[in-house]
């Protein structure tokens, strides 16, 4: 039974807490959050107790630390947890600033750091990758990643989000790297503000189309919007030499109603807590394997930096109107 | 160029007329109908001329006769056309009365008689049969035939229709024989009047479930309703040793609308003129092949009698509440 | 925190044990099984301890008992657990013998007995029922229940199974009752042995088509086979006045491979542990609500008896070749 | 009955000839082609006769001319047919050279010129446009056009094709203009040679991703490949304020085979003659309406020029690596 401390008892922290508590090989022992009420609630729901950060990092019984706090603390807490000898399950993104993220390389050397890019653990995306790996369509050539939120976030969230590329497309940059099998070497992005003018006034965009190119000429399109109008829209099409593999959206159930208007399928799962609940569970199972020594992190610090580099390149391309080459 | 006469210028006659006129190897020359206006209209639309029945049968230029007149004349006109040396494309059913239909056997001996069971010519049902023939699921074991009309016909039609089994399920009995690869030897049917009480008052049912069994124990369910509420519902599921082949309903287009309610597909094709327009065209192509000697009728008089025998057995089962064995 | 005892540590007992252990309001305290190893394994996996039946029933800390033992013990253990003042979560079927099941009525009077017909808790079937309840297609008229296993069980299982109707179709009889909104009053069944001759030699069938009729004339078809060849086939079509609601099979993922052969979807979930894992979890949540007094059992003893009566009627119909009326 | 002359008896000419011959209000009278055998064959199949170009244009009985000859003759023949007072049904593209196409403006003033962009007449794309027009998803914001050929053409075709953008994507540029409801003002394109190195050696690409932007910020992605590996891949997704409308690929039939591998749908229609056969028929019906004065061409010379301008801009963007603004 490995013991865990959770740093950050917000929405995503609660999910990790529940998954840790339900895992047969893990025990959530400590919950850390400056908001005492939040910490107490999560602790109570999971049989853990509230602790301070220092207490948690100093506790020799704690094997692993889940970093689910505010984004600008991810890097610092990950470094400190690693320094304290803990394995780290760090929420994405690794940081908002590429230079700062890169600067932490030395301090994170040798860290058992698992970065929570949840989509890599989604059953459908994993099945897609497995099909590619099994050669179902030959060598991959192009990729279409569609990633639209159900509706736009509040403006005060947008203002501190780091912008669409770092906040939202960061997942898609990671998926592109995971699937392309080659690093993107060039990025081009266009963005518009079509959903909510307030997003534009906040200096951000709500709609983007980003192209990635690899050295061998593989092309990837990332389509993002802050509002699909029909739920969480998370799809991938991967084209190979002899066909295409696709992963589609998930519906609430298999029910259809057939009427004079035609066949109506059930609603699409609305947002990430719902769409990726199995993925979050699978992330925790992976962390349990890391803690037991059965697995190395399949996605870590370097992946977080690489996704961030793509996000910054996309933002630069949007600003300059030119393609941007990655170093 | 083979020349045809059409007997019966009603709704189905019009379709056959148009298909004959458009076929490169056929010419529709004569149209026969006691309703002069109907005959004139069809003749005008297709470049044919109006004629009397005797004239048409006596005309040595006429190679084939399409019998699309009232059901109770099918048998008589088929017999007379055959006697006049013509090939016959006779609409289903062969007759409403099994004894009378059987009694015509001698007079139709050697007839080039093609009975228009249109569903055998539907591309999806043909593809289903081809999959079975190719062994896609091994030997066929059970069959589910779903056949629901979009809405009930007028009561005055119901009153002269011969009842649900002869009017509607007759197609399904033919499909069952075509696909089972063995003759049904026993029939059981239940029926209800759930759609329109007036249908019950007319002595008919509007909803039925009919079971067929073959000598080797293959089972077939036929599900019928006079009203689906969502368009023409024509589906088949064929279960074999290693899986299932199904043919689904056809939609107006491939368009879907994705909204908060989920994915809405386009309307189902509403009724037989629409759903089976390709099948009617393929029927005429088959008749052209019969006329040119390239093909023998793939479905004829004996099939019409066999389907009628199943319909009468189903009606008897409904009346007696018992399974009925076929001779 | 309500405390539970589990009687029966076999395959289904394990599932209930894990779900009980993971539920925030329940604690699995005791595990009872004559097979000491099985009991010990489940106890160890869930933090419970092994106990004898008498011990479990006598323990005042135990609020509820899960009966997941051999079928012929369900009724007896349910009666004893009720006599001991426990709420009961009893696996289906209530018993194999209708007369015996009926005879227990008095002893189970007032019992908080929840009968585990898992399909009622499947998200897709619940969504289907909710659509019907919301009037999505008007009043229900007919029902098509398709329920095929992936492949036949071993012959030694078949021999003690009670036959296809009690072992397999019992679920479908319950679904029919749950959805029809009216009791079936008449049953007709045909069965064949098409999958494995050894099943026939064991006096059973492996393929059946069963018709149910209600007093108002609603019709239901139940289609069963011991072997679909494509995985677990659990589908329902419910036809109403203005359309149809259907619940389809569940696939492993949303992934499709598009190749020259067409679009290939992912595998269907293979069997009940997989297909109904969410249903089993929902059952346990319902039992938690029963224990806390928030809910009455939505399905209980009377439903178990009614389903068994339909199964016996179907078996009688198969034997006699006649429809069978229910009292 | 309007009389037509066909210029060009190749593959696409044959299709238009057959559709003209089958249309009740049109007669194909003359066929013009320097290849005498081709002209004779088409004439024979349709009951037309062979003529010279001068003869056809001088014949006062001819109401309309179908220009289906080599691409570099489209513009010249359209001009001459218009000068002769004929209505013109001109195959796409209007020309390979934008400057030359623009230079013909004066000579085509007042022409009844219908440019055959067939996809505008596809039932599914028309249904998609109708949904947008009906406000099914609110105002259009972004567009995804997927257009992949089943496999690459022969290299000698590639060499004279004008390149992927003019030969293949020209259709997609027209679809974008048709659906966006606003002219694109900027184009960015990336291309690769991933399918066949010989295409690269011929100076062309076989894979492209092109972005279009309108003045209001609407974004459109066009995805092209010379080889899908699974048939003709022609799909559109149109995102609006409140959802998405999509048109999918068309399969050969509705048949599916369910096996242990999952559900396998039927093959996708393989190429344009098959996929767009209804569209070609609808084009001819539209031309009949133009000839009878019931309709003005819905797509004509100006659309041909505009699509060509986008193709040239895309090619320039590919060459320069920069976005290209349209005048």
Per mean pLDDT, which range of A184-188, A232-236, A269-273, B195-199 is the poorest? A269-273
Q: Number of helices (H) and strands (E) in chain D: give both, helices first.
A: 13, 15
Instruction: Tell me what pLDDT residue A259 has.
Output: 97
Mean pLDDT to the nearest integer, D87-110: 96
Mean pLDDT to the nearest integer, B166-174: 97
Contact B124, B247 (CB under 8 A): yes
Mean pLDDT to the nearest integer, A138-147: 98
Question: Angle at the Cα of D81 (from D76 to D87), degrees rounded to 5?
Answer: 125
Residue that is written with structure tokens 């037509």 in the block: D4
Which of B230, B259, B266 is opposite residue A230, by nearest beta carbon?
A: B259
Shortest alpha-carbon distance between residue C210 and chain B (Å): 9
Mean pLDDT to the nearest integer, D113-119: 97
ipTM higher than threshold 0.90: yes
pLDDT digits (tens, 9 = 90+) for A62-114: 999 999 999 999 999 999 999 999 999 999 999 999 999 999 999 999 999 99
The band of B21, judged by pLDDT with boundaries at 50, 70 and 90, is confident
The band of D45, judged by pLDDT with boundaries at 50, 70 and 90, is confident
Instruction: Tell me what pLDDT residue D273 has.
Output: 87
Burial of B107: CB neighbours in 10 Å, binned 0-12, 13-18, 19+: middle
| D73-106 residues labelled b (16+ CB within 10 A) or e (exposed) | bbbebbbbbbebebbbbbbbbbbbbbeebeebee
* Residue C29 β-bridge partners: none
SS3 D282: helix
pLDDT at D191 over 90: yes
CB contact under 8 A, A264 and B262: yes
Which of D213, D218, D241 is opposite residue A229, by nearest beta carbon?
A: D241
Which phi and psi (to 5°) does residue A219 adopt?
A: -120, 140
The band of B108, judged by pLDDT with boundaries at 50, 70 and 90, is very high
How many residue pairs from chains A and C have C-beta atoms closer than 8 A?
85
* Residue C255 β-bridge partners: A247
Chain centroid to Cα A231, Å, comes to 18
Contact B283, B121 (CB under 8 A): yes
* Residue D5 β-bridge partners: D30, D65
CA distance A98 to A111: 19
Residues of A whose CB is below 8 A from D213: 190, 192
Q: 3-class secondary structure for B213-245?
A: EECCCCEEEEEEECCCCCCCEEEEEEEECCEEE
CA distance C31 to D69: 84
Residue of A nearest to B228 (CA): A259
pLDDT at A24 over 90: no
Which of D229, D258, D263 is opposite residue C259, by nearest beta carbon?
A: D229
* Residue A243 β-bridge partners: A240
Residue of B nearest to C141 (CA): B194
Shortest alpha-carbon distance between residue C151 and chain A (Å): 23
The band of D46, judged by pLDDT with boundaries at 50, 70 and 90, is confident
Shortest alpha-carbon distance between residue A258 and chain C (Å): 5
CA distance B7 to B96: 18
The band of B229, judged by pLDDT with boundaries at 50, 70 and 90, is very high
Low-confidence residues of chain C: pLDDT under 70:
none
Residue of C nearest to A44 (CA): C24
What is the pLDDT of chain D when averaged over all its residues?
Answer: 96
pLDDT digits (tens, 9 = 90+) for D244-292: 999 999 999 999 999 999 999 999 998 888 999 999 999 999 999 999 9
What is the pLDDT of chain B when averaged over all its residues?
Answer: 96
Which of C230, C231, C258 is opposite residue D230, by nearest beta carbon?
A: C258
pLDDT digits (tens, 9 = 90+) for B266-320: 999 988 889 999 999 999 999 999 999 999 999 999 999 999 999 999 999 999 9
CA distance C306 to C304: 6
Secondary structure letter of residue B251 according to DSSP: B
Residue that is written with structure tokens 């934008």 in the block: D98
Instruction: Tell me what pLDDT residue B22 has.
Output: 84
Residue of D nearest to B248 (CA): D254
CB contact under 8 A, B45 and D22: no
Instruction: Tell me what pLDDT residue D1 has.
Output: 86
Contact B209, C219 (CB under 8 A): yes
The band of A209, judged by pLDDT with boundaries at 50, 70 and 90, is very high
Structure-block tokens of residue D149? 């050929």
Among D20, D137, D254, the strongest candidate for a mutation testing the B interface, having the largest count of B CBs within 10 A, is: D254
Residue from B185, B151, B181, B184 nearest B168 by CA: B151
Structure-block tokens of residue C268? 């269907």
CA distance C191 to B219: 8
CA distance B182 to B214: 6
Residue from B226, B50, B194, B216 nearest B142 by CA: B216
Among A134, A139, A145, A194, the strongest candidate for a mutation testing the D interface, having the largest count of D CBs within 10 A, is: A194
A201 Cβ contact list (under 8 Å, min separation 6): none
Per mean pLDDT, which range of C313-322, D22-31, D99-108, D187-196 is the poorest? D22-31
Residues of C whose CB is below 8 A from A242: 259-260
Residue of A nearest to D222 (CA): A221
CB contact under 8 A, A257 and C127: no
| Complete DSSP assignment for D107-155 | TTTT--EEEE-GGGG-HHHHHHHHHHHTTTTSSEEEEEEEEE-SSPPPH
């Amino acid at each position: 039974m490995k013991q865990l401390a959770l740093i950050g008892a917000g929405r995503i922290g609660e999910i990790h807490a529940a998954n840790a508590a339900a895992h047969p090989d893990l025990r959530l022992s400590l919950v850390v959050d400056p908001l005492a009420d939040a910490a107490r609630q999560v602790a109570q729901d999971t049989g853990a107790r509230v602790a301070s950060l220092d207490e948690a990092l100093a506790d020799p019984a704690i094997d692993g630390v889940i970093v689910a706090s505010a984004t600008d603390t991810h890097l610092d807490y990950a470094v400190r947890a690693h320094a304290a000898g803990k394995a780290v399950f760090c929420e994405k993104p690794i940081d908002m600033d590429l230079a700062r993220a890169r600067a932490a390389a030395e301090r994170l050397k040798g860290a058992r750091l698992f970065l929570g890019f949840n989509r890599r653990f989604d059953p459908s995306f994993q099945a897609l990758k497995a099909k590619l790996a099994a050669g179902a369509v030959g060598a991959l050539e192009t990729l279409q990643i569609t990633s639209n939120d159900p509706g736009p976030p509040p403006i005060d969230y947008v203002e501190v989000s780091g912008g669409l590329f770092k906040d939202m497309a960061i997942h898609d940059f990671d998926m592109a790297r995971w699937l392309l099998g080659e690093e993107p070497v060039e990025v081009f992005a266009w963005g518009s503000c079509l959903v909510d003018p307030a997003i534009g006034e906040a200096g951000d965009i709500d709609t983007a189309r980003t192209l990635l190119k690899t050295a061998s000429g593989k092309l990837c399109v990332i389509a993002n919007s802050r509002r699909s109008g029909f739920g969480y829209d998370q799809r991938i099409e991967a084209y190979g030499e002899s066909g295409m593999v696709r992963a589609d959206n998930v519906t609430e159930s298999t029910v259809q109603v057939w009427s004079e208007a035609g066949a109506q399928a059930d609603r699409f799962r609305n947002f990430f807590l719902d769409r990726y609940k199995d993925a979050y569970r699978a992330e925790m199972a992976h962390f349990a394997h890391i803690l037991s020594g059965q697995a190395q992190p399949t996605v870590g610090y370097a992946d977080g930096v690489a996704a961030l580099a793509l996000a910054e390149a996309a933002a630069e391309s949007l600003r300059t109107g030119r393609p941007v080459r990655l170093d």
